[in-house]
Amino acid sequence: MSATEGLIDADDLALLATGFEAAMAEAPGPAEADVALYELGWGELLAAAPAQGAAVAFSALGEAGSAAGLIDDVVVHALGLEVSVRTAAVLPAPHRAAAPARRQGDTVVIDGLVSARAQMASIAVVAVDDGGDIAIGVVDTSALGPLPTTGGLDPGDAYRRLWAEIPAAEVTPAASTGTWEAAVAAARIALAHQLVGGARWMLAEARQHAVDRRQFGRPVASFQAIRHKLAESLVEIEGAASVAAACVQDQNPLLAALAKSLAGQAAHTTATHAQQVLAGIGFTAEHQFHRRLKRMLVVDTLFGSTHSLPTEIGHTLLTQATAPHLLPL
């Protein structure tokens, strides 16, 4: 793997993307996927080029539809801590981006999510709101109580709700060199790439079905209404992808929020059109579309959703009384 000034060569990135996607597709579960990705060098890639590494891995995550817990690594790394397959992160509750825990006297109340990584992790990193100041701590996963093995928020049990009250003494202060704001921005950029990757998969499935399916003696892909739906999906995907790609060079929190919002909207639009093109086959047990749709709906809610982020972005613009420069088209 060659690197210059922290940037990985494009050919190496393409090979990594192919390897990551294959590893996720072949792994029987999220734990096996995490281990396989670390064996392929995910940890080293994240350390060498965090933005590029996350873009490649999360695009592959979306394409493969895996439940791997890579979001934990992105959050932990952005906080300046060491990543490991045995380290999980407590994530904010759906539609939120605030610290998932708060201190109340001698107790820490956690109201958030954990990924499938928490099942095999020995420690979890948690951001605690201590009277307006965000403190980063580490807690033994056994202190979080029994984590459910089923009943997750999506078909692969990739994410589960977590509510716990633990003694503050059990949260060990971490030597964090990053901020929660930086962790949120990094997570949003990574998730934007995952949503774009998932939308690309849905569009490809819908397109192939439209080519193969025949009505009135010709492929339904030749019908104008079908072509318009596929074209609209492609335009939204490419627009969201361009903003997500810009975040690789500029991880500004406002741009990160915009990338996540646009990617979520593109995924929603594509899912709607793809379901209309696929019709009933998309919800059959044999087809993966309905599982990918449920995963997308959950991922969209992480660290703010396409419904909540526009309000946050508008508030930020009003507070700053300025608008960022437009991205080159």
Tell me the CATH number at 244. Answer: 1.20.140.10
The CA-atom distances, in angstroms, between 303 and each of 41, 152, 161, 216, 227 are 26, 17, 14, 46, 33
Q: How many domains does the chain have?
A: 1
Q: Is 303 in a helix, a strand, or coil? A: coil
- pLDDT of the residue at 327: 63
**Residue 1 belongs to some domain of the structure:** no
Q: What is the model's pLDDT at position 234?
A: 97
- Tokens describing residue 323: 């608008």
Domain-located, residue 253:
yes
CB 103 within 8 A of CB 131: yes
DSSP assignment of 127-175, as one string? EEEETTEEEEEEEEGGGG-PPPSS--SSTT--EEEEEEEEEGGGSEEP-
pLDDT for res 126: 97
Tokens of 305: 């959703």
Q: Is residue 150 part of a domain?
A: no
Contact 219/212 with Cβ under 8 angstroms? yes
In a domain, 326, yes or no: no
What's the rounded Cα separation, in Å, for the pair 51 and 231? 29
Residue 203 lies in a domain: yes
Residue 10's pLDDT is: 79
280: in domain: yes
Which residues, given as ranges, of the chain have pLDDT below 70?
A: 1-7, 147-152, 155-156, 326-329
Position 126 in a domain: no
State the residue range of the domain holding 281.
Answer: 180-320
* 294 in any annotated domain: yes
